[in-house]
């Protein structure tokens, strides 16, 4: 475990000779606390004698106790509260539990359950985590950053809560997303939790339900926009750079109005990326690469129709275009392979209501008023749902796809589960078992005509933790699209024949740390080749990445 004792202040001034907090104060530090695993010698040396039951438990015994309580809970939201409460008490044990049961825990600590947590944030609140910075703090953001108790920060995930999953404006409740994302950085890629900082930038909310709720925890006002908003974000970015130079800043769940703008403004100034745009794009591109192995067709022959033309959809389109260009297509020709349907129909040249980010994909095509008419007109090989419109991939849509393609690609990626464009069972049933399916949130395996299909989860957790690990390991100055392209190729290369046999286009989550380490090596390779690394290139990149990966093991304080 990384030594964090030097950054842990004691309000009482009482420290052991080891430089650790003393007595009950140590039990209240989640990064240092071992609970009932403190040895008898440690209890006497650290002022803990009598503050804990006498039996010293192993970590395995503690995990068993956590899991007993976990399985006694009757709802996923109760399980979420149970796990987050453990994280607040003992982070090492929390991550041991999550890593040992990742497939079971992922839907609880992140989507879909984290969406429920965000919606109930003010009602579930127990203990603050991360930093809440409001627009009223302008002029003092640097001071607020200095209140963070840890000296080093390697990764910040920041949101303004405007577009949380498919749930819309959650205001201050959006803090659940940075907290959850950073948990996945550690669980999936071994980022030291002491280096992680979740941040909520509160500029207000348009959610009337929250503004009327006496337990809502954020600013009770409409969202600030325009120059005041930009100046506020700019002050935050500058303060981070001054306080922790080179820290990776991940923009998360910003609304379309700001997401593209902020990424373009800062991507070449600081070390930053937008996971909704770039991370989503990479995981989808990887799924398409894997699907090729099932369709037997060339990637350049794909014709892709998107439902949804927001930050996720356009981000995916842009990365697909980059991949097609690398295979020899011209940019214009590559863009023609990607078409979009938004709330007003097919994005075409004749429309005068298109936002700037859609213009590159406004092709010279006949207008289509809805998705099914666009499917019939264009006969795509793949449909990708990023619309947050549940059930938008109807039986009619899937059957049409199956009539045009021996193996139709159906990616219903909207989160949480309730927003998915279709379920795995629907896709497999309506296509007579021929669909290559992936979703954003998990669906259980499906049995169709005697064969079991395991739907792939096109979750960004396959991509962003490994990208972040690579960036941190080599201290990259910027995060580039080439890094995400290499991450996508690496992820696709790790899909095994057994995965494809059951229809899964992503590796099993049980291999996520192996996957993240491989992606981190690929990202670091790009950083060194492109002159973006902040350290000299070592002889062994895999060893560099491994050395940056934290493991949830208790420190023996008296060694």
Which residues are known to be catalytic? 110, 181
CA distances from 448 to 291, 431, 443, 503 (A): 20, 11, 15, 12
Q: Identify which of 52, 63, 57, 2 has the alpha carbon closest to the alpha carbon of residue 26.
A: 52
Q: Residues 158, 179: contact at Cβ < 8 Å?
A: no
Q: Residues 458, 410: contact at Cβ < 8 Å?
A: no
Q: Identify which of 81, 262, 244, 241 has the alpha carbon closest to the alpha carbon of residue 160.
A: 262
Between CA 322 and CA 335 the distance in angstroms is 9
Return the DSSP state at 164.
B
Between CA 107 and CA 104 the distance in angstroms is 7
Q: Residues 550, 190: contact at Cβ < 8 Å?
A: yes
Q: Residues 116, 77: contact at Cβ < 8 Å?
A: yes
Q: Identify which of 267, 271, 269, 351 has the alpha carbon closest to the alpha carbon of residue 315.
A: 267
Q: Residues 163, 255: contact at Cβ < 8 Å?
A: yes
CA distances from 366 to 304, 347, 401 (A): 17, 10, 19
First to last CA, the chain: 14
Between CA 478 and CA 482 the distance in angstroms is 11
Between CA 133 and CA 201 the distance in angstroms is 5
CA angle 139, 142, 143 (to 5 degrees): 90
Between CA 66 and CA 43 the distance in angstroms is 22
Q: Residues 457, 507: contact at Cβ < 8 Å?
A: no
Torsion over CA of 333, 292, 421 and 81, rounded to 10 degrees?
Answer: -120
Sign of CA pseudo-dihedral 432, 434, 435, 441: positive
CA 124, distance to chain mean position in Å, is 22
Q: Residues 365, 339: contact at Cβ < 8 Å?
A: yes
Q: Residues 366, 374: contact at Cβ < 8 Å?
A: no
Q: Identify which of 385, 416, 381 has the alpha carbon closest to the alpha carbon of residue 400.
A: 381
Q: For residue 43, how many other CB atoms are within 10 A of its CB?
A: 16
346 torsion bin: left (phi>0), alpha (psi -120 to 50), beta (else): beta
Q: For residue 428, how many other CB atoms are within 10 A of its CB?
A: 23
């Amino acid at each position: 475990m990384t030594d964090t004792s030097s950054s842990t202040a004691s309000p009482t001034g009482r420290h052991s000779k080891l430089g650790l907090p003393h007595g009950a104060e140590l039990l209240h530090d989640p990064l240092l606390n071992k609970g009932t695993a403190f040895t008898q010698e440690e209890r006497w040396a650290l002022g803990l004698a009598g503050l804990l039951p006498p039996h010293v438990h192993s970590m395995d015994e503690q995990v068993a106790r956590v899991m007993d309580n976990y399985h006694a809970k009757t709802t996923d939201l109760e399980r979420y509260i149970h796990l987050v409460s453990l994280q607040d008490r003992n982070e090492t044990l929390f991550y041991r539990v999550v890593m040992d049961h990742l497939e079971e825990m992922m839907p609880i600590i992140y989507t879909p359950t984290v969406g429920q947590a965000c919606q109930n944030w003010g009602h579930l609140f127990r203990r603050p985590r991360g930093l809440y910075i409001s627009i009223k703090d302008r002029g003092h953001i640097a001071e607020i950053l200095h209140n963070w108790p840890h000296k080093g920060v390697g990764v910040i995930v920041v949101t303004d809560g405007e577009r949380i999953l498919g749930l819309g404006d959650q205001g201050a409740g959006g803090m659940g997303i940075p907290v959850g994302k950073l948990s996945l950085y550690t669980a999936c890629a071994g980022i030291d939790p002491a280096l992680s900082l979740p941040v909520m930038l509160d500029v207000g909310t348009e959610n009337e339900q929250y503004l009327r709720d006496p337990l809502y925890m954020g600013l009770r006002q409409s969202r600030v926009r325009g120059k005041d908003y930009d100046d506020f974000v700019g002050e935050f970015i500058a303060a981070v750079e001054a306080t922790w130079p080179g820290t990776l800043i991940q923009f998360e769940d910003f609304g379309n109005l700001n997401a593209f703008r902020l990424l373009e403004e800062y991507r070449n100034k600081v070390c930053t990326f937008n996971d909704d745009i770039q991370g989503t794009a990479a995981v989808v591109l990887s799924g398409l690469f894997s699907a090729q192995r099932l369709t037997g067709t060339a990637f350049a022959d794909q014709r892709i129709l998107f439902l949804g033309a927001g930050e996720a959809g356009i981000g995916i389109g842009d990365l697909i275009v980059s991949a097609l260009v690398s295979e020899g297509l011209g940019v214009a020709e590559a863009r023609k392979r990607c078409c979009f349907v938004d709330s007003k129909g097919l994005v075409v040249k004749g429309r005068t209501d298109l936002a700037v980010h859609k213009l590159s994909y406004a092709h010279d095509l006949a207008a289509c008023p809805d998705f099914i008419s666009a499917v019939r007109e264009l006969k795509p090989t793949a449909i990708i749902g990023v619309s947050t419109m549940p059930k938008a991939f109807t039986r009619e849509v899937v059957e049409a796809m199956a009539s045009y393609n021996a193996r139709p690609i159906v990616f219903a990626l909207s989160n949480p589960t309730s927003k998915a464009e279709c379920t795995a069972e629907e896709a497999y049933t309506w296509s007579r078992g021929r669909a290559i399916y992936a979703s954003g949130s998990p669906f259980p395996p499906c049995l169709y005509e005697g064969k079991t299909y395991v739907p792939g989860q096109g979750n960004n957790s396959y991509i962003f933790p490994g990208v972040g690990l690579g960036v941190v390991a080599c201290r990259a100055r910027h995060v580039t699209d080439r890094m995400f392209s290499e991450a996508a190729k690496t992820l696709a290369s790790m899909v095994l024949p057994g995965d494809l046999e059951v229809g899964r286009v992503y590796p099993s989550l049980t291999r996520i740390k192996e996957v993240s380490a491989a992606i981190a090596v690929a990202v670091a390779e790009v950083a060194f080749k492109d002159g973006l690394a902040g350290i000299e290139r070592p002889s062994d990149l895999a060893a560099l990445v491994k050395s940056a990966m934290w493991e949830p093991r208790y420190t023996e304080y008296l060694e």
